[in-house]
Structure 1
Amino acid sequence: MAKYLYQLGKWAASRPFRVIAGGVTALVIAVVLGIGMGTSFSDDMSIPGTKSEQAMKILTQYFPSDETEGKTVQLLFKAPQGQTLESESVAKTIKAALGEIGKDPAVDSVAGPNVEGMMSPDRKIGSSIIIYKVKTSDVTESSKELVLENVERARDTGVQTEIGNGFESSEPGIGGTSEIIGIIAAYLILAFTFASFLAAGLPILTSVLGLGIGIMCIMIGSNFFNMSSVSLSLAVMLGLAVGIDYALFIISRYRQQLNKGFGVTESIGQANATAGSAVVFAGLTVIIALAGLSVVGIPFLTAMGLAAAVSVLIAIIIAILIVPAALGLAGKRISPARPNRLLRKRPRSGAVGKISNRWGRFVIRFPLPIAVIGVLILAIVSLPALHLNTGLPNDGTKSVKTTERRAYDLLTEWQGVGMHGPLVVVAQAADRVENPQAAIAKATERLNNLPNVAGVSPLIPSDSEQVAMITVIPKTGPADSKTKDLVNLIRDKAEGINTQDHVELMVTGSTAVDIDISAKLNQALPKFLLLIVGLAFVLLAVVFRSILVPLKAVLGYLLTITATLGFVVFVVQDGNWIHMFGIPEPGPVLNYLPILTAGILFGLAMDYEMFLVSRMREEYSHTGDASKAILEGIGNSGAVVTSAGFIMIAVFAGFIFAEDPVIKAMGISLSFGILFDAFVVRLAIVPAVMRLLGRSAWYLPKWLGRIIPNVDVEGETVMKQLESEQRAG
C-alpha cells in the first residue's frame, strides 16, 4: 500500500491545480444534489423486538391514530398572584391571544383553557391546544412568529404564558458557533505547532473541503435511509476533527523530509507513503469501529455509525489526495519543521542515538511511579460510572430560561411530575375468554394498588372489545429510576395475571419505550466492547508483531472508556460542575452515549497508538534497544500526537457550547475522552509500561510470526528502497 501511496502523492503534487479543482468540483456537485434533494431526517429511535415496541404494534392495530397527532402545540397559562384564569382581565388576555392565533389560515382549531379538564381545580393554571392543518415540523415561520408574538403580549399583561410541546425543527443545526469555535482553536494550535500561518491553514482548508462533501453525502443519504439529525452533528464533529488530524500527520512528515534535504515532490511522495499509510490504517480502524455499531442490532445507532464512517472515509481520501496537491502548490513556503522545546530537541541528521527528550527521559527514569499514578487517576475518575443511569433528556433538564422548561414546571405544579411520563398499558384478552371487557377490568384493578402509582385512567375498549387501553400515571418523573421499577413491576405482575385471568398486560408509551431502549443499549455495550477490544488486539498484534503491546493498548483503551463514562456521570448525572459546562440541571446520561463514545474513542485511541508505537517498533527493529525505541517514538511522534490531541479536544469541546443537550453531552464525553487517552494513557502509561516490559514487550512466538502477515504501516519498505536507489544513483 505504501508504494501506491508514494506514487499517488507524487502524482497529486505534480498536478495540484487539477486535483484541487477535482475536489472543489466534487463539493459543488454534492452541494447541488444535496440542496436539490433536501433532507429527510427522522428522530425515530424505536428498537425492533422490545416489549414496548410489540405493545405499540397492538395499540396501533386496535386503536387508529388520532388525525391530530403531530399537529398540536400546547400553551400553558398561569394567572397573576391573587387572580385566577377566570378573572375578567386574565380571561380577556387569554381570549385575545387565542383569537389572534386562531385567525391563522394554517390553524385548524384552538381549544381554550375553559374547556373541561384543561384547568386546575384552583383555576390558576390551565392549558390550550392549537391544532394545525399540517404537522408542526412543517408549520411556516410566519405562523410560529404569530404564536410567539401573542405569547409575549400575554406575558406583558402579567399572565405567565409558556409553550409546551412546541414546534419541531425539520432541519438539523450545522455551521453554528460550535464548529466555528473548534476551527479557530484548531488553527491556533496548528499555528503554534508549525510556527507558520500557511502551514496551519492547510489542514483547516482541506478538512473543511472534506467536511462539506461529507455533510452533503449524508444529507442526500437521509432521503434513502432512516437516520436522525444527530447523525449529521456527529459526522460534522468527527469528520472535522479527524480531517484536521490526518492532514497534520502528513504535513508534519512532509516538513521533516524537506528538512532532510529532499525536494518538494519527493518529500510529498515520502510523506504520503509513510504518514499516509498510517492515516489510511488508522482511519480504517475508526471506520470499522463505527460500522461495528451495526452488530448491536439497533437501527438508529447503525445509521449514526455509518454516517460518521462516511465522513471519516472522505477525510482519508482528502488527506492522501488533496493534501499532497495542496503541499505541491505551496511548495517550500511550508517552512521546515522547527524543534519543539516542550517535548524534544530535534536530532541532527545521522545522530539518531543522541536523542534529547525531556519527557521521554523522565518516563524512562521513573516508569513505575508514572504508570501507577496514571492508572490510579483514571481508576478514581472511573468510580462514578458504577452508578450510571441512562435515559433520554426531557424538558425538565432544560434551562429555566427556556419556555419549554417553564411549561414543564407549570404542568408539574398542576398535575404532578408523573404527567410527563404516563405509561400506556395495553390489555388483551385471550380468544377463549367469554367476556373480554370484564376480564380486562378485573385484571387491571390491581394496577391501582401498585406502589408509585398516582392514578389510573378509565378503560378505553377497542371496537372488538378484545383489547383495552389504560393510562397509568406514576408519582415520579420519566427519568426517575422508580418509574423504571414501576414498568418492570407491571411486567412482572403481568405473567401471573395472564395465567390467572387469561389477560395479557403490556406496557408502552414514550416513557416505556425510552426505558426499553436504554436497557437494550446497556445490554449491548459489553458485547460491543468485547468485539472491538478483540478486533484491536488482533489488528495491533499483526501491525506490531507482538503480544504484550496490543494487550497493553486494549487495557489502556478500557481505562479510557471507564474514566470517560465516570467523568460524564460525575458532571451530567451527579450535577458537579454543571454550570461550568452550561448544563441547567443534572439528569440521566444520554442512553446511547456510552456505546457511541466507546466506538468513537476506540478508533481515535488506536490512531494515537498507531502513530506513537509504530515509530517505537521501527526503531526497535533497527537497533534492538527497547529504551531507545521509546525515546524515538516520543521524540518523533509525541509532539504530533500532542497537537492532534489538543485539536481533537478543541473541536469536540466547541460542541459543549451547543444548545442541544444531546450534542452538548457528546462534546463533553469525547473531549474529555481524548484528554484521558492522548495525554494520560498514550503519552504516559503506554511508554512507562513499555519501559517496564523492556525487550519482552516485542516478544512474538516464532510459530505465530510465521502465520501472521507482516504489515508495513510506516512505509518502511518504500523508504529502504528509496534509500538504496539513492545510494546506487
Structure 2
Amino acid sequence: MSTFLYRLGKSAYTKPWYFIISWIAILGVVLAILGVNGIHVTSDMKIEGTESQKVLDQLSAELPEASGGQASIVFTAPKDERLDTPERLSAITKAVNDVYNLEYVINAAELAAKAGASAAENAQGSAPQQGDGTAQATTGELPPFGPLMVNGVPVPGVMLASDGSVALFQFQFTVQQMSLPESVPDSVIDAAMSVEQTGIQALPSDSLSTKPSIGSTEAIGIAVAAVVLFMTLGSVVAAGLPLLTALMGVGISVGGAYAFSKFIHMTDLTPVLALMVGLAVGIDYSLFIVNRQRRMILDQGLSAREAASRAVGTAGSAVFFAGLTVIIALCGMLVIGIGFLSAMALVAALAVLVNVLVALTLLPALLGLLGERICSAKARTKSSTQTNKTAQGFAHRWVTAVAKGRWLVIIAVIVILGAAALPVAKMEMGIPSGATANLDTPSRQSYDAISNGFGEGFNGPLLLVAKPNGASDKVTPELLNGLVQDLGKHQNVSLVTPMGVNKTGDMAIISLIPKTGPTDAETKNLVREIRASDSSMALTYDVTVGVTGFTAINIDMSSKLAEVFPLYVGIIVILSLIILLLVFRSIIVPLKATVGFLLSVLATFGITTAVYQWGWLHSLFGFDTGGPLLSFMPIMVTGILYGLAMDYQVFLVSSMRESYVHGHHGTESVVHGYNQASRVVVAAAVIMVSVFAGFIFAHDIMIKQIGFALAIGILIDAFFVRMALVPAVMAVFGDKAWWLPKWLDRMLPNLDVEGDKLLAELKSQESAANIKAKPRRAY
C-alpha cells in the first residue's frame, strides 16, 4: 500500500494539472446534475416495521384521506383582548378558508357537507363517517374551550379558548409532510399571516417550520481551523492547502448527495452531517500529509518532490486506513436496517471517502504547483540551527511526566470520565419538538400558546385505528361509541373524536388528545396501554387498536433506536478489535484502544445529557429549554466518534510503533513516538473540535446536539484518552504492548501502515545508486 501511494503521490506531484483538472471536472459534473435534479430532502424520519408505521401504511392503502400529515396554526389576541370580535372573526375565517383552498390540504368544511348529505346511509353503518372537525369531550367536565362560532355556525377545524384569547386551527394534509412540495407549508403560513393586519398573531406549528440550514456561525469553526493550521505549519500557503482540499471534498460529496436526493429518501439533516464530518476529516487528513512532508524537508533535507511522495506513501497510508476505519464504522449502521439512518451513514461515508481520495491525489498535485515554496526560508534556517538540539518542549515534558506517574494518570482519567458518564443512566431520547425550541421562535410560541389555551396534549394528537378481530365483523355505531367512551375515561385522555369508518366498514378512525405532552413518559405509557392486546377495552369489544400520528411515530422511533443501540456498540467493539489488530499487529493495543473509546463515548453522552436534557449551561450554548436527546444521535455520534478516535489512535500509536521498530524500547519508544506525533494530533483535534463546535450555535436544536456531542467527544477522546491514557498504558506494558502470538502473526496480512517496506525499498535503491555512481579504481 505505501509503495503504491508513494508512486501515486510522485505522479500527482510531477503532473499536477492532470489531477487538478480531473477534480474540477468531477465538481462540475456534480453541480450540473444538481442543477438538473434540484434538491429533494425531507424532515420525516420513518422507521419501517414499527407499530405506528404499519398503521400508517394501512391507512394509506385503505383510507388515504386519514393518513396525511397534521399541522396547526395558533391565533393569539393582544394582551387582555379577545379574538371573537366581528373584524377578527372575519379575518380568521378568511385565513382558514384560504388554507382549506390550498392544494394538498383537506377541506374539513367539504367533508362535513359530505357527511351530512350521506347521514342516512351512515346511520346504517354502510358508508364512511367523517368528523366535522370539532373535538368531542368525553368526560363530564366542561372543557375550557369550544368550537369557534361565526353567526351561530362553527368554523370547521378551529377551537377557541374560553377566555377568547387564543384559537387553534388544526388541519390535515392529503399526504405526509415528506411528500409535500416545499411551497405548500410556505403557502399555508402566508395564508395564515393575513390575520395580522387586525392585531392577531399567527403562529405556525413545529411541523410547518423550515428545514435545518447552515448559518454563518459554522464559519467560526473554519476560521479557528485556519489559525491552528497556520500555527502548526508556519505559513499561510501551507495552511491554506488543507482548507482548500477539504472544501473541494465537501463540495463534491455534499453536492453529490443533494444532486441525487431526488432518487433516495434523504432527511434534511443528512447533508449537514456530511458537511460536519467531511470538513473535519478533510482538513485533518491533508494536515497530516503536509506536516509529514515539511518534517522530511526540514529534518532530513529532502527535496519537496521526494518529501511529498514519501509523505503520501507513509502518512498517506495512515490516512487511508484511518479513513477506511471511519467508513467501516459508518457503514456498520446498515446492519441496523433503519432507512433514514442508512442514508445518513452512506452520505457521511461518501464524504470521508472523497476527502481521503482528495488528500491522496489533489493535495500532492497542489504541492507540486508550490514546489519548494512549501517551506519558507525562515523555516529552513530555524530548522538548521536546531538540528542537533534535543526537543525538550511541553510535549516532551508532558509525556515524560505521564510515563513516570502512569498509574496515577490511568486512575485519574478513569475516575474523571466515569464521573462524567453518570448522567447517561438518566438519558431520555426522542425527537425535539416545539417544547424545546428557543422562546423567541414561532414553533415555541405556538407550542406554549396551545399548552396554555387548550392543554399540552393538543401539541401531540394521536390517531387511532380500531379493527374488529373477526374477519366478517363490522364497526357498528354502538362499537364506535363504546370505544370512544372507554377511551375518554382514561385519566390521561383529554378529548376523543370519532373521525369515521372506511368504506368496507371494518376499520374505525379515532382522534385522541392526551393530557400530557408529546415527549412525556405518561404519553408513551398511554400509547402502550391503548395498543395492548390484553387491555380491558380490547377484550370487551374484541378489537385490535393501533396508534399512529407524529407523536406515536417518534415514540416508536426512540424505542427502536434504544433497542438496537447495544447491538451497534457491539459491532463497533468487534470492528475496533479486528481493525486495530490488523493495523498494529498487537493484542494489547486494540484492547486498550477499545476500552478508551468506550470511556470517551460514555462520558460524551453523560455531558450531553447534562447540558441538553438537564439544561446545564444552556444559555452558554444558545438554547432556552432542555429536553430529550435526539433519538438517533447516540448511534450516529458513536459511529463517527469511533472512526475519528481511531484516526488519532492510528497516527499516535503508529508513531510509537515506528520508534519501537527503529530501536527505541520501553518507555523511550513511547516518549519518542509521542514527541513525533503529538503536535500534529493535537492540532488535528483542535481543528475537529472547532469545526464541530461551530454547529453548536445553529438555529436547529438537532444540529446543536449533534455538533456539541461530536465536539465534546473529540475533546475528551483526544486530550484525555489519546494524550494521557494511551501513553500511560503504553508505558505500563512497555515492549510487551507489541506482543503477538507467532501463529497469529503468520496469519495476519502486513498492512505496512508505517511505511517500513517503502522506506526499506527506497534505502535499497539509494544504496544501489551510490554503488553504481562510485568510480572504479584503475589497476
Does 691-700 or 9-18 show the bigger shift? 691-700
- The answer on whether the counterparts of 2:395 and 2:679 sit within 8 Å (CA) in structure 1 is no
Structure 1, residues 568-615: CA drift from partner, whole Å, max 9, x if none? 100111111111111121110000000000000010011000000011
Q: Which of 302, 305, 313 in structure 1 is aligned with 2:342?
A: 302
Distance across 1 between alignment mates of 2:466 and 2:193? 44
Q: Which of 181, 188, 204 in structure 2 is aligned with 1:163?
A: 204
- Matched residue, 2:38: 38
- Matched residue, 2:84: 86
- The answer on whether the counterparts of 2:193 and 2:202 sit within 8 Å (CA) in structure 1 is no
Distance across 2 between alignment mates of 1:257 and 1:431? 80
What pairs with 1:350-361 in structure 2 (closer than 5 Å)? Answer: 357-361=396-400
Change (3 A) 1:63 1:536: same
Does 286-295 or 99-108 show the bigger shift? 99-108
Superposition deviation, residue 434 in structure 1: 5.1
- The answer on whether the counterparts of 1:12 and 1:325 sit within 8 Å (CA) in structure 2 is yes
- Matched residue, 1:598: 638
Superposition deviation, residue 448 in structure 1: 3.2
Name the SS for the 1:478 alignment partner: coil
State yes or no: 1:290 paired with 2:334: no
Structure 1: gaps spanning 5 or more residues: none
Name the SS for the 2:754 alignment partner: coil
State yes or no: 1:379 paired with 2:418: yes
Superposition deviation, residue 144 in structure 1: 7.6
- Matched residue, 1:688: 728
Structure 1, residues 76-114: CA drift from partner, whole Å, max 9, x if none? 222334432223564466578779999999999898874
- Matched residue, 1:126: 167
Change (3 A) 1:192 1:162: same
Distance across 2 between alignment mates of 1:449 and 1:703? 70
Structure 1, residues 496-536: CA drift from partner, whole Å, max 9, x if none? 65556431122222111111111110111110111111011
What pairs with 1:552-591 in structure 2 (closer than 5 Å)? Answer: 552-591=592-631
- Matched residue, 1:15: 15
State yes or no: 1:202 paired with 2:238: no
- Matched residue, 2:266: 227
Superposition deviation, residue 123 in structure 1: 2.5
Distance across 2 between alignment mates of 1:536 and 1:228? 29
What pairs with 1:665-684 in structure 2 (closer than 5 Å)? Answer: 665-684=705-724
Does 294-303 or 330-339 show the bigger shift? 330-339
Distance across 2 between alignment mates of 1:652 and 1:593? 14
- The answer on whether the counterparts of 2:557 and 2:631 sit within 8 Å (CA) in structure 1 is yes
- The answer on whether the counterparts of 1:265 and 1:328 sit within 8 Å (CA) in structure 2 is yes
Name the SS for the 1:227 alignment partner: coil
- Matched residue, 1:448: 488
Distance across 1 between alignment mates of 2:562 and 2:159? 39
Distance across 1 between alignment mates of 2:626 and 2:323? 35
- Matched residue, 1:540: 580
> Which AA in structure 2 matches 1:25?
A
Distance across 2 between alignment mates of 1:110 and 1:463? 18
Superposition deviation, residue 704 in structure 1: 1.7
Distance across 2 between alignment mates of 1:166 and 1:113? 26
Does 624-633 or 571-580 show the bigger shift? 624-633
Distance across 1 between alignment mates of 2:98 and 2:277? 46
Q: Which of 302, 313, 324 in structure 2 is aligned with 1:273?
A: 313
With structure 2 as the length reference, what TM-score do the two structures score?
0.86
Superposition deviation, residue 634 in structure 1: 1.2
- The answer on whether the counterparts of 1:34 and 1:219 sit within 8 Å (CA) in structure 2 is yes
Does 613-622 or 295-304 show the bigger shift? 613-622
Name the SS for the 1:357 alignment partner: helix
Distance across 1 between alignment mates of 2:79 and 2:539? 54
Distance across 2 between alignment mates of 1:43 and 1:681? 36
Name the SS for the 2:593 alignment partner: helix
Change (3 A) 1:142 1:585: closer
- Matched residue, 1:326: 366
Residue-pair matches, total: 718
Distance across 2 between alignment mates of 1:411 and 1:186? 44
> Which AA in structure 1 matches 2:399?
G
Distance across 1 between alignment mates of 2:394 and 2:439? 57
- The answer on whether the counterparts of 2:160 and 2:166 sit within 8 Å (CA) in structure 1 is yes
Change (3 A) 1:346 1:610: farther
- The answer on whether the counterparts of 1:564 and 1:672 sit within 8 Å (CA) in structure 2 is yes
- Matched residue, 1:28: 28
Distance across 1 between alignment mates of 2:93 and 2:484? 41
- Matched residue, 2:357: 317
- The answer on whether the counterparts of 1:355 and 1:635 sit within 8 Å (CA) in structure 2 is no
- Matched residue, 1:239: 278
Superposition deviation, residue 629 in structure 1: 1.4
Change (3 A) 1:346 1:624: farther
Distance across 1 between alignment mates of 2:252 and 2:627? 36
Change (3 A) 1:45 1:129: closer
Name the SS for the 1:619 alignment partner: helix
- Matched residue, 1:492: 532
Change (3 A) 1:168 1:430: same
- The answer on whether the counterparts of 1:258 and 1:267 sit within 8 Å (CA) in structure 2 is yes
State yes or no: 1:458 paired with 2:502: no
State yes or no: 1:629 paired with 2:629: no
Structure 1, residues 335-381: CA drift from partner, whole Å, max 9, x if none? 27999xxxx99984797999981111111111111111111111111
Superposition deviation, residue 708 in structure 1: 1.6
State yes or no: 1:139 paired with 2:178: no
Structure 1, residues 179-201: CA drift from partner, whole Å, max 9, x if none? 42221111011111112111111
With structure 1 as the length reference, what TM-score do the two structures score?
0.91
Change (3 A) 1:413 1:40: same
> Which AA in structure 2 matches 1:182?
G
What pairs with 1:468-507 in structure 2 (closer than 5 Å)? Answer: 468-492=508-532, 494=534, 498=538, 501-507=541-547
Change (3 A) 1:144 1:63: closer
Change (3 A) 1:148 1:424: closer
Change (3 A) 1:434 1:147: closer
Change (3 A) 1:89 1:233: same
- Matched residue, 2:4: 4
Superposition deviation, residue 308 in structure 1: 0.4
- The answer on whether the counterparts of 1:441 and 1:459 sit within 8 Å (CA) in structure 2 is no
- The answer on whether the counterparts of 1:203 and 1:247 sit within 8 Å (CA) in structure 2 is yes
Name the SS for the 1:226 alignment partner: coil
- The answer on whether the counterparts of 2:533 and 2:539 sit within 8 Å (CA) in structure 1 is no
Distance across 2 between alignment mates of 1:623 and 1:105? 75
State yes or no: 1:216 paired with 2:255: yes
- Matched residue, 1:367: 406
Structure 2: gaps spanning 5 or more residues: 110-147, 771-779
Query: How large is the RMSD of aligned CA atoms in angstroms?
Result: 3.2
Name the SS for the 1:80 alignment partner: coil
Distance across 1 between alignment mates of 2:759 and 2:574? 32
Does 639-648 or 23-32 show the bigger shift? 23-32
Name the SS for the 1:458 alignment partner: strand
- Matched residue, 1:76: 74
- Matched residue, 2:113: none
- The answer on whether the counterparts of 2:74 and 2:166 sit within 8 Å (CA) in structure 1 is yes
- The answer on whether the counterparts of 2:91 and 2:195 sit within 8 Å (CA) in structure 1 is no
Change (3 A) 1:187 1:455: same
Name the SS for the 1:521 alignment partner: helix
Distance across 1 between alignment mates of 2:543 and 2:174? 39
Distance across 2 between alignment mates of 1:8 and 1:717? 16
Change (3 A) 1:172 1:219: farther
> Which AA in structure 2 matches 1:75?
I
> Which AA in structure 2 matches 1:724?
S
Structure 1, residues 415-436: CA drift from partner, whole Å, max 9, x if none? 1001111222211102356564
- Matched residue, 1:706: 746
Change (3 A) 1:179 1:24: farther
- Matched residue, 2:435: 396
